[in-house]
């Protein structure tokens, strides 16, 4: 690393805030309506003309806008990921990060005490927070393409039903049901999350709704409904501590039929817990907001083996764009 790279890393919050603020103001949507100068942009955002010009120039420097003379236009990357009408819209994740910006101010305290900076409530208390969280998960998965990749990659031909534990918005099961027409799905999740899932499925996948059961449960408190043939868990273990994850794997084992599989998709870290880089950084966010962190393959496979699973294997997704892997295990 050289000086410039270090300085850019250390000041990275400024770039993040510029993008988050532009999105919150609706700047990209305004520019999407047609090339415009700072006067027109400020008028449409009902914001200060000079300040809007500074923000738009910064976004141009970041290659999210293009500027010709005084006119701004969207760069291709912004048109693809920052406009609501795009199927790859990442904005809901960016707005979720924006809402959590204050939480990062408590990182020092969290590192000193080990305690999260907010109650790890999985955003279940206020309906608007639940919706922002669950739409953020959907936005990331769709923009990056994880669900489509996983649905292609996992051979679900032998399984009549897949249970998505903590399935959130249903993005993964929707892709799996499209890929495997014989399949049914059940999403096991907390009640407030399922309300949002119901809305998202009705908005975008109404034809799949009859094939998806939404089952409210708290996996920390109850057993999973039995007779599952496959259980999928994406981005679940990283929010939980080690003991809860070991317990969760035992619950999965008890709920599965013989021959059934458990699939854990997450950042699966190297033994030093430093790679993938995205996972090491994401663990800081998890410290701030949950009881978890990202775990290594030996940690995850240890919980699975302890529960009784066999044939435990690691399947990494191609990086970039993906940053996670799947750990797949079978009940004998």
| Residues 174-193, interacting with ligand SAM (CB under 6 A) | 189-190, 193
Nearer to ligand SAM, 18 or 267 (CB): 267
Nearer to ligand SAM, 29 or 138 (CB): 138
Nearer to ligand SAM, 66 or 217 (CB): 217
CA-based nearest residue to 174, from 209, 216, 199, 198 = 209
Distance CA 173, CA 178 (A): 8
CA-based nearest residue to 74, from 87, 62, 91, 92 = 62
Q: Which stretch binds ligand SAM (CB under 6 A): 83-91, 160-168, 308-316, 317-325?
A: 160-168
Q: How many residues bind ligand SAM (CB under 6 A)?
A: 17
Nearer to ligand SAM, 166 or 279 (CB): 166
Helices vs. strands in the chain: H and E counts, helices first: 16, 11
Residue 9's Cβ-count burial label (10 Å; 0-12, 13-18, 19+) is exposed
First to last CA, the chain: 48
Q: What per-residue string of b and e applies to 258-286 under the rule 16 or more CB within 10 Å gives b?
A: eebbbbbbbbbbeeeeeebeebbebbebb
Nearer to ligand SAM, 72 or 219 (CB): 219
Least distance in angstroms from the C-beta of 154 to ligand SAM:
14
Would you count residue 324 as binding ligand SAM (CB under 6 A)? no
CA dihedral 255, 257, 260, 262 (to 10 degrees): 10
Would you count residue 234 as binding ligand SAM (CB under 6 A)? yes
Would you count residue 235 as binding ligand SAM (CB under 6 A)? yes
Site map for ligand SAM, 91-130, x if CB under 6 A? -------------------------------x--------
Residue 242 and residue 289 in contact, taking contact as beta carbons nearer than 8 Å: no
Q: Which residues bind ligand SAM (CB under 6 A)?
A: 122, 137, 141, 166-168, 171, 189-190, 193, 217-220, 234-236
């Amino acid at each position: 690393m050289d000086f410039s790279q270090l300085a850019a890393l250390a000041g990275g919050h400024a770039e993040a805030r510029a993008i988050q603020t532009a999105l919150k103001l609706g700047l990209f949507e305004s520019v999407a309506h047609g090339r415009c100068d700072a006067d027109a942009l400020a008028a449409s955002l009902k914001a200060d003309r000079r300040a809007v010009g500074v923000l738009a120039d910064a976004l141009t420097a970041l290659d999210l806008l293009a500027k010709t003379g005084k006119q701004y236009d969207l760069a291709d990357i912004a048109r693809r990921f920052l406009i609501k009408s795009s199927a790859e819209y990442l904005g809901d994740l960016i707005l979720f990060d924006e809402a959590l910006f204050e939480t990062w101010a408590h990182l020092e305290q969290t590192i000193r005490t080990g305690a999260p900076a907010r109650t790890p409530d999985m955003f279940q208390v206020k309906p608007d927070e639940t919706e922002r969280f669950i739409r953020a998960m959907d936005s990331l998965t769709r923009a990056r393409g994880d669900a489509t990749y996983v649905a292609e990659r996992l051979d679900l031909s032998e399984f009549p039903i897949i249970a998505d534990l903590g399935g959130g918005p249903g993005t993964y099961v929707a892709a799996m049901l499209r890929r495997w027409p014989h399949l049914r799905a059940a999403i096991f999740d907390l009640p407030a999350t399922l309300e949002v899932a119901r809305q998202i499925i009705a908005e975008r996948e109404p034809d799949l709704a009859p094939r998806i059961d939404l089952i409210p449960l708290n996996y920390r408190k109850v057993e999973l409904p039995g007779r599952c043939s496959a259980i999928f868990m994406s981005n679940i273990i990283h929010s939980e501590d080690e003991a809860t994850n070991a317990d969760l794997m035992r619950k999965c084992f008890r709920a599965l039929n013989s021959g059934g599989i458990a699939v854990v998709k997450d950042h699966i870290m190297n033994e030093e817990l430093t790679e993938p880089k995205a996972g090491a950084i994401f663990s800081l966010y998890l410290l701030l907001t949950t009881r978890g962190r990202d775990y290594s393959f030996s940690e995850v496979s240890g919980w699975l083996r302890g529960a009784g699973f066999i044939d435990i294997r690691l399947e990494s997704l191609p990086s970039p764009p993906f940053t996670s892997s799947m750990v797949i295990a079978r009940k004998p």
